[in-house]
Chain A
Amino acid sequence: MLIEVQGMSKRYRPRGPLVVEEISFAIDQGETLAIFGDSGSGKSTIGQILAGIYPATAGEIRLDGQKISYPLRGHARRQIQILFQHPEVAFNPRLRLIDSMREPYRLFRLPYTRQGLCDYLERYGIYEEHLERFPAELSGGELQRLALARAMLIEPSFLVLDEPTSMLDVISQAQIIHLLREIQQERQMGYLFISHDRVLCERFCTSICLLKGGRLEDPWRKSDA
């Protein structure tokens, strides 16, 4: 299994309520698990714990069979990436996009050339001219494609997709989903897809779980239907 979550719970304050409770699931290579539920049901909390943004209060997470802990370091930090709902907050508003795109090269010591970056971004529909702009000068769809390209630069094996298309128009949504499918086929990646759109989950994911009041119901597999 690529990712295994066992008995994960989270409370934000020491005596506060459990936001998510006893969550367990597993995602294999090439699989997409959808966690679907209303606003406030705890979907994003699960995604953010997996991406190493918060520690879980209880439970364990395994990546390729190895237990991982907060904060994510080394192999785990590289292998798990996240795409947020609001692409505009994923980029520093004061930096030109070229500078934001150089950050993963610096952090993960990747060989950088401007031409190499432009060639890489071609499949995401981002051109050299876009890179000279600030985040506010791009559309939501363009920024989200750039955020996906940045996450994929370091070749992760697992992506948390936290409502990546809910703020986008339908054509931008279809373009992002199309790119995600292509990448998954090429690299056998695992995805955790968080959404409140049931029809979208059914179309895109291999299995679907309903999250209600912080508890996860049994997954429903498309292949079983």
Chain B
Amino acid sequence: MLEIEEVSIHFGNNPEVVSDATFTVNGGDRLAVIGETGSGKSVLLLAVLGLLPASARITGSIQLNGRELLGCRERELNQIRGKEIAYIPQGSGNGLNPLYTVGHQLCETIQKHRHCTRKEALLQAAALLESFGLEHGESLCRSYPFQLSGGMRQRVLIAMGIAAGAELVLADEPTKGLDRRRITLVEDAFHRLGERTLLCVTHDLRFAKDISSRVIVMYASQQIECGDSRSFFEEPLHPYSRAMLAALPEHGLHATMGFAPPRRDKDARRACRVYERCPWRSERCRKAPPLLAVGERKVRCWKYAD
């Protein structure tokens, strides 16, 4: 469904924020892209949506059902966004306009992509909200965003994202800033997406484990590991992935990775990007490793080269 090939993104003359991203999202896949803040996850999502600022230079190819998205005109992209690709922004509520009711905002999306009256759109909006576990859809349509809790707002955003019937759903940190109870509600809403294809960016590992079938780990703008979700969470391969799982409270809050250096000099830029922080580093790691195949999975670490 979505093919991303050797996509690199730069802003001005700064180092790349996404470097050679290559992966495919097949129909029905539920792919979680995980990694720390600033690893390039969200920028990659914006690139798929064609929403990067003019200062961004992007190379490579992004194809949706065989159609190249890079270089598409704004008018074509407007037809694709919403109708073919849904976007769910972060859950802090910034994705909703505070001056309009939830119903108004949902109807706007529905009427933009489907020919129907306002009344029909409102009925569809209420039904859609109820399908995501929000009770009393009609009265909820009359509410303003400030009258809803964080978890409700996030579920409204999910409903709004798919209101136009898109099959590919992109979600950007949908659980950020929510408490555990509300995250559970959002997880439930994601399970209700059914057969839709999902590409979700998150740094919440528990959430990623719950909703995904495949995982990509990004670090310092590079993909460092990809594979199916179950084997990743049972036995991560890359030392950074291992450190992430060991740092989870339920696994003992172990801080096994050192602090990131403030800047990388020329020699360091030629090395593996995790070099300074890696507990396994060796002389070989002074050269950047390629993405190596380990069975069905891929990992960017020299340890798996032999």
A and B: partners? yes
Taking CB atoms, residues of chain A closer than 8 Å to B258 are 125
CB-contact partner of B247 in A127, A145, A170, A204, under 8 A: A170
C-alpha gap A199/B252 in the complex (Å):
10
- Specify which of A125, A172, A199 is in contact with B36 (CB 8 Å cutoff): A172
With an 8 A cutoff between CB atoms, is A225 at the interface? Answer: no
A139-B37, A169-B203, A171-B244 given; A197·B255 CB < 8 A: no
Complex contact B36–A171 (CB within 8 A): yes
What is the predominant secondary structure among interface residues of chain B facing chain A? Answer: loop
CB–CB A169/B37 < 8 A = yes
- CB-CB under 8 A from B149, the residues of chain A are 39-40
Among A59-67, A98-106, A173-181, A185-193, the one that faces the other chain is A173-181
B178: chain A residues within 8 A (beta carbon):
39
Cβ-defined contact, A129 with B254, below 8 A: no
Residue of A nearest to B34 (CB): A169
Which residue on A lies nearest to B254, using beta carbons? A174
| Contact between chains at A170 and B181 (CB < 8 Å) | no
Total residues of chain B contacting the partner, CB 8 A: 33
A95 at the interface (CB under 8 A from B): no
Closest chain A residue, CB of each to CB of B38: A139
Does B12 touch A at the CB level, under 8 Å?
no
A residues near B182, Cβ cutoff 8 Å: 38-39
B205 CB contacts on chain A under 8 angstroms: 170
* Interface assignment of A166: CB less than 8 Å from any CB of chain B: yes
**How close is A146's CB to chain B, nearest CB, in angstroms?**
12
User: Which residue of the partner chain, among B179, B181, B253, B260, contacts A177 with CB atoms under 8 Å?
Assistant: B253
* A130-B262, A173-B247, A197-B249 known; A166 vs B177 contact (CB < 8 Å): yes
> Which chain B residues lie closer than 8 Å to A145 at the CB level?
259
Give per-residue flags for B229-260: 1 if the beta carbon is below 8 A from chain A beta carbons, else 0.
00000000000000110111110111101111
When the two chains form their complex, are residues B253 and A178 in contact, meaning their CB atoms are under 8 A apart?
Answer: yes
Number of A residues near B (Cβ < 8 Å) is 32
A/B pair count, beta carbons within 8 Å: 78
Please, which residue of chain B has its CB at the minimum distance from the CB of A170?
B247
> B244, A125: Cβ atoms under 8 Å?
no
Does B176 touch A at the CB level, under 8 Å?
yes
**CB-defined contacts of A204 to chain B, threshold 8 Å:** 249, 253
User: Do B250 and A170 touch across chains, with their CB atoms under 8 A apart?
Assistant: no
Chain B residues near A202 (CB-CB < 8 A): 249
Task: Say yes or no: is A30 at the interface (Cβ < 8 Å to chain B).
Answer: no
Asked whether B244 lies within 8 Å of A170 as measured between CB atoms, the reply is: yes
What residue in chain A is nearest B247 (Cβ atoms)?
A174
B86 to A: closest C-beta gap in Å: 25
The interface residues of chain A lying within 8 Å CB-to-CB of B253 are 173-174, 177-178, 200, 203-204
Cβ B180 vs Cβ A129 within 8 A:
no
- Tell whether, in the assembled complex, residue B150 and residue A39 are in contact, meaning their CB atoms are under 8 Å apart: yes
Assess whether A141 is in contact with B36, with CB atoms less than 8 Å apart.
yes
B177 x A167 contact (CB < 8 A): yes
**Which chain A residues lie closer than 8 Å to B179 at the CB level?**
38-39, 196
Identify the interface centre among B149, B203, B244, B255: most chain A CB within 10 Å of its CB. B255
Contacts of A173 in B (CB 8 A): 247, 253
A202 CA to B246 CA, complexed, in Å? 16
* Bound CA span A173–B182, Å: 20
Inside 8 A of A175's CB, which chain B residues have their CB? Answer: 255, 257, 259
Q: Name, among B252, B254, B262, the residue most crowded by chain A CB atoms within 10 Å (CB to CB).
A: B262
Chain B residues in the interface with A (C-beta under 8 A): 35-38, 149-150, 176-182, 203, 205, 243-244, 246-250, 252-255, 257-263
Identify 13 residue pairs between A and B in the complex whose beta-carbon atoms are under 8 Å apart, listed by A's number.
A125-B258, A125-B260, A129-B262, A139-B37, A166-B177, A169-B203, A170-B203, A171-B243, A171-B244, A171-B257, A174-B254, A174-B255, A177-B253
Known: A125-B258, A198-B180, A203-B252; 6 extra A-B contacts, CB below 8 A, are A40-B149, A141-B37, A171-B257, A174-B254, A197-B180, A202-B249
